[in-house]
Structure 1
Amino acid sequence: MIARILLDVVLPVFVLIIAGSVMQRLFRLDLYTLSKINFYYITPAVVFMSLYQSNISIELLGGVALFYSLYVGILYVLSFALTRSMKYSGGMRAAFTNSVLLDNSGNYGLPINQLVFAGSPLAASIQALIMSFQSLLTFTYGVLSIQGAKLSGNYRSVIIGFLKMPVPYALVLGFAFHAFAVPLPTFVTQPLGYVQNSMVAIALLTLGAQIVKYPLRLGRSSIYFSMILRLIIAPVIGYLLILALGLQGLPAQALLIASGMPTGVNSSILAEEYDNEPDFAAQTVLVSTLLNIVTVTILITIAQGL
């Protein structure tokens, strides 16, 4: 079973990531443009269509929101305790916590979800919800944690940044159109479907291009602490919450796999934007993505038994 998952799900993902890395080495791709295409073009279409075509209920929506809130809250407490006990500086505490809380549920989690669940609208909708919650967390706590005292109580830039994100609007519209059974003409759904189908290839190519620019240096203990929390403790928390909340079947499987995603590129982007431990942030993205070959294979195997 593990060999099949590795060959049929995990390795195809990493073939596309490697292709993106090779193309970045050869052609120096415009990462800014690729990121914008993913964030403003492909991801909103995937979120909208996943929710519009799904059969997700209000009850399940509430269950996913509760799961995610508890999941992030527990991870934050553990990160807070560790960074205080290790006497990290304020900037390092923010970078470390972001490396644990901000995972790659978008351009890595969505392709994994589509491959594992064969494009199931319900599974894709759950992953889209997680990704939307991640976007909210990134542009609120993620930014605030790094800016810290620099904000001086001015949250206007954070609010404006969040309002500019397309994913929450796609989330609301997709769910509303689904709930009220709003019919959409073919000239709308077909182009959105084309964009949705391009997501796996473009998102993973972009991820490969992003991580290849980071040199691999493994001399910092903080990187290993981050990996333990992100790749081992986080899915354990996810598994225990699934049991505690009584989730079963496909929703439980999708949430467990989502809880074990590697550190998100956004944590590195924020670190570079605010010049806050950018080397550490880049390392956690690269190392966690590589180690996830093993951990996500194990998670998928466990999830199939739920």
Structure 2
Amino acid sequence: MVYLSMVLFQVVAPILIMLVIGAILQLKFRFNLKALSNLITYCLMPAAVFINIYETQVNAKVLSSIIVYLLIFSICLMMISWLFSKLLKLNRSQAAIFNNSIVLINSGNYGIPVSQMLFVANPLGTSIQVIIVIFQNIITYTYGLYNLISSTKSGLDILRSLLRLPIVHALIIGAIMNFWNIGLPITFRIPIEYLANAFISIALITLGAQLAQIELKTIFNKVIFTSTVGRLIIGPTLALGLILLMGFDGVVAQSLFIASAFPTSRNSSTLALEYDVEANLAAQIVLFSTIMSCITVTIVIYISTILWG
């Protein structure tokens, strides 16, 4: 119980405080959230991704195992979300939002800050989270987009959207420089580290600002409730089974398990708004799952330390 309290007050509570600060600032000053989102996507997150990949050694065998795990985990979530959408008898647009809400995870401006706080003494944990972020972006701009606009957007257009993401370029460059042991001049390293260090605070404040604009209209809506249970409870339960089955241990197991418990990705709401598909429902799911994740993520972190700490 003492450690559970420590996790709550030293990891989850600081994140919650940053979200509240972002929400308050947004209500008072009405930030341009599109500009802040672009700052994170095209500047701060790529810097954080590059530094983490550049500075960390990930065994090729472990990396391949992680990718296999992520594929199996995502496919299982897709099947579970499809089954629940049928049981709930959702129409096509509602089903698309529901499926995305369970499969698409907020691994970026929620997951990376959590990992950086948890694994400050072991960068491998954060590097694994970076890999998950890249994987989740691929899922978002393939499966997620297909759910929403399969009739209007070609596979080639989806691929172009993915390749335009700076984090993909940062990952590739960081991996190449890491593999070939290419030195990074101090003139470039210092500003990149400044940007990477700014990522946590700006990302969390922006997420809080985004959540402040969402109206929570129907708390007991069956779609919102089932989606939250699927994302925050069924997801980690599935992940735990796969982790034990595949024999992961230590920091790798901890990082994968904790990453499975993060709330619904804000991208699911952003895409729904952009393509006018049940945008209100998508936004409410993001808000409700983020609020509830303060409890569930704390519990998952606690369990992970018992099993692999």
Amino acid at match of 2:161: G
Counterpart position of 1:281: 282
Aligned residues: 304
Aligned partners of 1:113 and 1:119 also within 8 Å? no
Aligned partners of 1:239 and 1:256 also within 8 Å? yes
Residue 275 of structure 1 aligns to a residue in which SS?
coil
The normalised TM-score by structure 2 is 0.96
**Superposition CA RMSD, Å:** 1.0
- Is 1:190 equivalent to 2:190 in the alignment? yes
How far 1:148 sits from its partner (Å)? 2.3
Return 5+ residue gaps in structure 1 as ranges.
none
Amino acid at match of 1:29: F
How far 1:28 sits from its partner (Å)? 0.2
Residue 304 of structure 1 aligns to a residue in which SS?
helix
Output aligned runs, 1:103-252, within 5 Å: 103-118=105-120, 120-151=122-153, 154-217=154-217, 218-252=219-253
Aligned partners of 1:40 and 1:166 also within 8 Å? yes
Amino acid at match of 2:174: G
Residue 106 of structure 1 aligns to a residue in which SS?
helix
d(CA) in 1 for partners of 2:16, 2:186: 34
Comparing 223-232 and 160-169, the one that deviates more:
160-169
- Is 1:272 equivalent to 2:273 in the alignment? yes
Amino acid at match of 1:101: V
Amino acid at match of 1:269: T
Q: After superposition, what is the alpha-carbon deviation per residue over 1:126-151, rounded to whole angstroms, capped at 9, x for unaligned?
A: 00000000111111111111012233
Aligned partners of 1:99 and 1:284 also within 8 Å? yes
Comparing 111-120 and 235-244, the one that deviates more:
111-120
The normalised TM-score by structure 1 is 0.97
Counterpart position of 2:256: 255
Counterpart position of 2:64: 62
Aligned partners of 1:271 and 1:278 also within 8 Å? yes
Residue 107 of structure 2 aligns to a residue in which SS?
coil
Aligned partners of 1:216 and 1:283 also within 8 Å? yes
Residue 198 of structure 1 aligns to a residue in which SS?
helix
Return 5+ residue gaps in structure 2 as ranges.
none
Q: After superposition, what is the alpha-carbon deviation per residue over 1:87-125, rounded to whole angstroms, capped at 9, x for unaligned?
A: 211111111011111111000000111111125321111
d(CA) in 2 for partners of 1:117, 1:21: 27
d(CA) in 1 for partners of 2:89, 2:261: 27
d(CA) in 2 for partners of 1:47, 1:26: 32
Q: Following TM superposition, where does structure 1 have runs of at least 4 consecutive aligned residues deviating by more than 4 angstroms?
A: none
Aligned partners of 1:105 and 1:131 also within 8 Å? yes
Output aligned runs, 1:5-24, within 5 Å: 5-24=7-26
d(CA) in 2 for partners of 1:142, 1:262: 16
Q: After superposition, what is the alpha-carbon deviation per residue over 1:247-278, rounded to whole angstroms, capped at 9, x for unaligned?
A: 00001101110000000110000100111011
d(CA) in 2 for partners of 1:190, 1:29: 28
Aligned partners of 1:51 and 1:121 also within 8 Å? no
Counterpart position of 1:301: 302
d(CA) in 2 for partners of 1:109, 1:21: 19
Amino acid at match of 1:129: I
Q: After superposition, what is the alpha-carbon deviation per residue over 1:157-195, rounded to whole angstroms, capped at 9, x for unaligned?
A: 212211111111111211121111111110111111111
How far 1:31 sits from its partner (Å)? 0.1
Counterpart position of 1:90: 92
Task: Indicate the percent of aligned positions where both proteins have the same amino acid.
Answer: 36
Amino acid at match of 1:196: A
d(CA) in 2 for partners of 1:28, 1:34: 12
d(CA) in 2 for partners of 1:89, 1:206: 32
Amino acid at match of 1:185: P
Amino acid at match of 1:179: F
